[in-house]
Structures are given as C-alpha cells and as structure tokens.
Structure 1
Amino acid sequence: MNTDISAVLAKRIRERASEIFPETVSLRREIHLHPELSYEEVRTTALIIDYLRKIGIEPEPPFLETGVVALIRGEGNDCSKRSLIALRADIDALPVTEENSHGFCSAEPGKMHACGHDMHTAMLLGAAKLIMEFRSELRGDVLLIFQPAEEKAPGGARPLIEAGLFRRFKPDAIIGQHCFPSVETGKVALSKGSFMAATDELYFTVHGQGGHASAPHKAADPVLGAAHIITAVQHLVSRVAPPHEPAVVSIASIHGGNAPNVIPSTVTMSGTMRTMNESLRAKLKERLRETVTCTARALGVEAKLEIRTGYPVLVNDPEVTEEAKTFCREFLGERNVLQSESLMTAEDFAYYLQEVPGTFWQIGTGTGSAEGGNTLHSATFNPEERALETGTGLLAYAAFRFFM
C-alpha cells in the first residue's frame, strides 16, 4: 500500500465530506422530522431510493418490504478480482415522544429517532455520494445496506439474510457504525472480539389467590411472590456468572392490582438479560427458570417465565478490526481513535458478523462535556451534527482503503 496515495485520498475525501456537510445535515433533518417505526419505514425507504438515483446508483430489487440494498461497481485498476465490502446503516426509529426544542423535532407523535439511525442513514448516503465521485479510483465493489427494523426483535438483519442477501452478494468484509454521545465528536472507538451483548427479553406471570389486604393469610399473594422473584434473580449475576464475565439481569416493569386494600390474583413483570458469551447465556437461562419456579412455589404461588431470544453476541473480527483501526488513524489522526470497552447494549449487526468478517465501531456524537439527557433512547437525545461529516468521510475512506 502506497502511503502517499492513501494520504492524498484521505485529504480529498475529508475536503469533500466537509463540502457536502450541509447536504448530509439536510438529509438527516428530513429523516428526523418523519421517523418511522420498525417495518414501517416506507417514507424513509423512498427518500433513500430517490437520493441514490439522483447520484447515479440504481437500487437492487427489494429483499424486504422496507429498506434498500444497492451496489456500487468500482472502476479503478485491479478490479478484476471484484472484491466486495459492505457498508450498513439502520433506518428505523423508536416509539418515543421527542422532548427537544430544536427546529426539526419529530412531526410524528410518539415516534422519534432517539438512537441516531437518522444520522447513520445520512452518513451512508453521504458516503455513497463520495464513493461515486471518486469511483474511477475504486478498486472493488461496495454494497450499501440500508436496513429496516434494528430496534424490534427479531430485527431486520436476520430476515434480510434469510431473504438471500448473502446468496446474491458475498462480501469479503462488512462495516457498521453507531452514534455514541459518550464518545466525543470527531473520534471513534473500536474493540476486537465480543463487543456488544446478547439480549433476551424476560416476561414473568405470577399467579396467586386474590383477597382482602387485611387478611393476607387467606390469600396467596402474587405481589409478595413477585417481589421475592425480583430479589432472587439478582443473585444470578453475582453468584452464577463468573466475576470476569459481564452479565446483566434487570426487571424493568411490574404490574399488578389497582386498589390499596385488594390483593390481586396476578402480577406481570418484564425485563432483560444481557450476556457476552453463548455458554453463559444458556446457563443463566436455565438457572433463571429454576429460580423463578422454586421461589414462587416457596411462597405458595405459581410463576411462569417466557424468555424471548434476542440478538446474539456481536463479535468483531480481530483482523478486520485491526485493519479498520489503521484506516481510522489515517483518516482521523492517532489521538482520535480510541479503544472501546465492551458494551451491554445489543445490535442485530451481530447477525451479519456471523456470516461475514467485519467490524462495528462507535462514532462519537458527544460534545466533550456532560449533558443531562443526551443519551441513547432518551426523549432528549440530541447528537452533535458535526459527526455527520466524520461518519460520512470515514465510511467512504474505509471503502476505498479496503482495496488498497
């Protein structure tokens, strides 16, 4: 690899990413104004198709009802091998009512891009424009994946794969990125190996015998049973999971009863379990079921637990990740490329990484100072838009650099 050539290319892409920044901001704000929930991204899909066609890219026949896949054919020297790199952005929003006050807040009640998918989509569209502008120097092909339904299990990645994405296209590598307000704008953070957690949804139903609150001895109290179950399942992390293995069990909702003097007959709860390897995941599921059943029985009630299997552990390929670190340092500078810790958040990008070697990094959208409420999935999530310039340029550069 000629370092002079890569340095010149990086400079040119940085300059163009800066020049088209107002355009990527406009794209992002249009998407933010009209958020769409998982599998409902009709307007967003149409926007993506329209923009791609304007810059000379014809989308592939659809794999799913929403979302877009498109191929950019390189025209540079040494294209005979037809190597392929895939770049992915997710496009769906969350069922959150926005509480920001900027001039482009969500116009859709109860819906908001509170996880940065509007940013991701605009970044990939901007990167596609830059790749097309420099396509004569592109020594391979680039697959653009605008994926629906990342936020709702089973997610959009697995149905897309099952619909034949990797039968039609066989990428040599895949790259994705995600906004993180905990990382300062202009910086990225990467990690090899297990990077994001497997996630499972937990649904509890505790049945007892209702009665008068003044005579609890004549009832079988599911509220008490639920309380003990909440306490009991917490020991799984501290006494079943090894101390060096990250794991989380959280009960996030509880519902039961509607009067202060009536013991209800049923209490329902829901929560989540996060783990970083599949063997611990299986062990915790088994012990969770045992704990729930036995705790309920000891208190004279019955409990049922439904575990809905979610996304697998996201495992970044070590070789591709190390290569990506080099690209990022070349484009952003050494001090702007950080080592990320493992995260207990989950991402269906994990399904792609089970099929294709690749990496998923954090792209900074933070301001460098603590801002209350500027967190993912918050009604006040407000990423720094200057990150659009960073993410657009970096994705484009990575596509070119992969073939050098």
Structure 2
Amino acid sequence: MTLRLPHWAPALYKSLHRSPELGFQEHRTARLLAEVLSRESFAVTRGIGGTGLAAVLDRGPGPVVAARAELDALPLQERTGAANASEVDGVMHACGHDLHLVALAGAAAQVAARPDLPPGRIVLILQPAEELGSGAARMAEDSLLEAVPRPDLLLAQHVSAMAPAGVLVSTPGTALAAMDTLTVTARAPGGHTGSPDSGCDLVLFAASLTQRLHTVVGCDVPPFEQAVVSVPEIVAPSAPGLRAPCVTLTVNIRTFEEGVREMILGRVDTLVRAEAAVAGLAFGGDVQLAHGTYVPRVENTAQLRHCLAAVHESQLAMRHLTVPPAFASDDVSVLIRAFGCPAVYWFVGSGEPGGRLGPVRPACHTDEYLPHPATLAVATAAMREALLAGLAGDLCEPADRANPPALPA
C-alpha cells in the first residue's frame, strides 16, 4: 500500500483547517487551491458559480474523468483542541471538506507527474456551498458545462467517522438520500405576555407544528420504507414581555424513493394548513410555506462501484466494504445529473485505525470532529487510484473503452 503525500499537502491542510470559510465566501480557499493546481500543470478557471473553480489536465483524446471536492465549512465553534484548530470565530471544518480538497489536489498532482499516464483528461471541480445544498447548482447554471469537457465518469469521496482510517465504504445503487428544505413563516400582531387572550401565540403554533411533523415518518410512511423529517431550526425573535410577532421553522426532509418524497411533501402541506387553522391564522396570508433547496439522491453506478472497490483492494491492499445507503445528502448529485454521466461516491474512514464500523463520537457536523491524522494520506491514495483507473478504462464497460469520447470543437 503506497500512502504518500506531495510535500506541500500537510501545510496546505493545516492552513485550510485554520482558516475555514462559509458557503459562497470561500475566496481564500479557492485562491490557494487554484495556485496549487496551476503549479501542477492544470488549466484553472475560477469564479464559476461565485467562488467555484474547475481545473483540467489534458493529455489528449481518451476518457474524461472528473472528480469533485467542496470548498466550504460549517458555522460551528471548533472545540477539538487541535494545534491547527480554526482561528475563525464560529466557523470550522466539521465535515472534512478541507481534507477532501487537499486529498483531491494531492491525488491529481501525483497522477499528473506520472510519466506513464494514459491519454485522457482529468477534470477537477471544486464547488462552493455544499453545506447550503446550492453550490453545485450555482456552478451548473453558470459556466461549468462550457468550461470543462463532458465527463465519462464523476468521482467523489467523503470522510466518515463511522469507519476507521484505512477502510473505505460505499453503496451500489442509491448511496445518499434526496433532501428537501422547506420554510414555514407565520406572522401575527404579537402582544404582551401578560395578556395571553389578546392574540396568537406563535411559539405555541411552532411547537405544536413541530410535534405534528415528527409524527409523519411513524404514522404516514409505509413501514418498509425509510425517511427522515426533522425541524432543525425555529427562530422567534422576541423579549421577555413580548409575544413574538413572527416565527420561522426550517423543515428538513430526507428520502430514498420519489413516491415517499411526494407523499411527505403533501403531508407537510396538510399539517401546516391544519395547524394554521387551529391557531386562527390564514394559510397563504399569515402563514407561508416555501419550498427551498432540493438536492437529488446520489446514485452509484453499481458495476463501476464494484470495479473501483476491486482497484482499491488490489492496488492499495485497502478494504473497500459495502454498506447500506446513508441519510446524508450531497449536491454532487446535481453535477451528476447535469453531466449525465455515471458516478462513484465512497466514504473514507476517519476514525481510530483498527476501530469498529458503526456510529462513533465525535461525528461529522459536531464541534469536536477531527479526522485521524492517517486519513489524509488514505484519501489521497484512494482518489489517486480512482483517477488512474478511470483514465486506464478500468472503470468502464468494454463498449465505452472502444469508443472514447471526441474532443470538443
């Protein structure tokens, strides 16, 4: 197993971790990655969809292999105690995007330096605002599809605290759930808390609606289907003697099947209307229901995923295990659909080496999450071998290998 890093990779990782940036604000992060990739012979295009960038290594006609990594961080105060902990108040890389970036850049640099590199093109997509669920769409709606050749294959990887460092896991078929984000906004005159009979208590409305929404999975979703409905945020600005004049709820829905998704969306609409009526509020007036971000589910092409697992095990002596789909979501699915190409998405274990598979603490999206130090080299090697296998045609069907795509005019 060859686990090595470019000489610049550890310092870049520490720098990115110390200086995280939120979605669509990743100016420094994008600049640093653009500088690194330019030095490694990639042609870089910046400013796609805001802070996004694409980089292309062109070695002539052959397979076009794309890989995606994310630029953004999360609004959390880091409490890892690491020497390179975030120096930005209230912002941290709690989902490993800094590691994804350095692993992708490092893998691409190692591939570009190989004298025996097969002909073809490597396309790197560094997207903003994955945590907002809208960065990939912003790039696709901007100039991404014109800036890069159409990929024959799209690769993406993500750290996971649910597997130890040195272990890779993935899912054939549906790998990640679809996600819908809805917003419920209710307004009323407010009033004095000493006069509860003089108006509508919007906090009580929000509390009752939240409880009802949490019954949807148990009462409305068929028992052999899976879904998650949650209310991750309720905002009701007020003061001790003031009844809130406005309340906003964020509703998050995650599903694997389109029929279940449509049923839940309809049920949420029904419950919001019913709770508005009970509270004496007019739906469509006092109460508004807005459908925000939609992120499609991530689909792995089963045969390609099987081939990649075999490559990882043969070239790196790394275990690449099959796991059930996860209720996490990733808007790389938007890029997969925009390009219309097959894809493989896998997880890189970031827990203590030799540990068990399964939920552990601290997990991603918590203020104490920090990948094990061995994870960066593992992720770099895993992506390197995936890129090489893609260029060599080892992840393609025989018909695809015999008919490489033509260069764009």
Residue among 218, 233, 237 paired with 1:238: 218
Q: CA deviation at 1:216?
A: 4.1
Counterpart in 1 of 2:362? 374
Give me the whole-angstrom Cα distance separating, in 2, the residues matched to 1:31 and 1:258: 38
What is the alpha-carbon distance in structure 2 between the residues aligned to residue 34 and residue 192 of structure 1?
Answer: 35
2:129 counterpart (129, 149, 156): 149
- How far 1:142 sits from its partner (Å)? 1.5
Letter in 1 for 2:382: L
Distance 2:207 2:45 in 1: 52
Aligned-pair CA distance for 1:24: 2.2
Given candidates 279, 284, 301, the residue that maps to 1:317 is 301
Task: Give CA-to-partner distance per residue, 1:223-266, whole Å, 9 cap, x none.
Answer: 33322212222222122222222211111233447466655444
Separation in 1, partners of 2:150, 2:64? 7
Instruction: State the match for 2:107 in structure 1.
Output: 127
1:338 aligned to which of 321, 342, 354: 321
CA distance in structure 1 between the aligned counterparts of 2:159 and 2:342, rounded to whole angstroms: 21
Distance 1:108 1:211, change over 3 A: closer
Equivalent residue, structure 2, for 1:386: 374
Provide the C-alpha distance between the structure 1 equivalents of 2:143 and 2:6, rounded to a whole number of angstroms: 34
Q: 1:22-61 residue pairs with structure 2 within 5 A?
A: 23-60=8-45
The answer on 1:398 being equivalent to 2:382 is no
Q: Is the 8 A contact 2:49 2:143 kept in 1?
A: no
Deviations 1:123-178 (A, max 9, x none): 011101210221423243221222222122322x2222233433441111111000
Q: Bigger shift: 132-141 or 310-319?
A: 132-141
CA gap of 1:224–1:191, structure 2 versus 1, over 3 A, is same
Amino acid at match of 1:124: L
CA distance in 2, matches of 1:202, 1:62: 29
After superposition, the CA RMSD in angstroms is: 2.5
TM-score scaled to structure 2, two decimals? Answer: 0.85
Tell me the SS of whatever aligns to 2:83: coil
Q: Is the 8 A contact 1:21 1:388 kept in 2?
A: no
Q: How many residues align?
A: 382
Aligned partners of 2:133 and 2:294 also within 8 Å: yes
> How far off is 1:297 after superposition?
0.7
Look up the SS of the partner of 2:175 in the other structure.
strand
Q: Please state which structure has a larger fraction of its residues in helix.
A: 1
What amino acid sits opposite 2:219 in the alignment?
Answer: R
Looking at structure 2, the residues matched to 328 and 213 of structure 1 have their Cα atoms a distance apart, in angstroms, of: 63
Letter in 2 for 1:321: R
Bigger shift: residues 42-51 or 385-394: 42-51
The aligned amino acid for 1:375 is A
1:329 to 313, 321, 332: 313
Which one is further off, 380-389 or 93-102?
A: 93-102
**8 Å contact from structure 1 (residues 251, 270) kept in 2:** yes
* Rounded Cα–Cα distance in structure 2 between residues aligned with 1:96 and 1:240: 34
Report if the CA contact (8 A) 2:183-2:249 is conserved: yes
The answer (yes or no) to whether the contact 2:67–2:124 under 8 Å persists in 1 is: yes
Cross-structure match for 1:160: 139
What are the superposed Cα offsets for residues 30-63 of structure 1, whole Å, 9 maximum, x if unpaired? 1112212222222122211221233333324653
Measure the CA separation in 1 of the matches of 2:302 and 2:183: 35
Matches within 5 A, 1:22-101: 23-60=8-45, 63-74=48-59, 80=61, 82-101=62-81
Does the aligned pair in 2 maintain the 1:209–1:222 contact within 8 Å? no
Match of 1:305 among 265, 269, 289: 289
- Determine if contact 2:178/2:255 at 8 Å carries over to the other structure: yes
Amino acid at match of 1:107: E
Structure 2, unmatched stretches of 5+, are: 395-409
The Cα of 1:193 is off from its aligned counterpart by 1.6
Of 151, 172, 187 in structure 2, the residue corresponding to residue 171 of structure 1 is: 151
Q: 1:200 — aligned with what?
A: 180
Alignment check: 8 A CA contact 1:200 1:309 kept: yes
% of aligned pairs identical?
Answer: 27
Partner letter of residue 160 of structure 2? Answer: F
1:64 is displaced (CA, Å) by: 3.9
Mean CA deviation greater in 138-147 or 201-210? 201-210
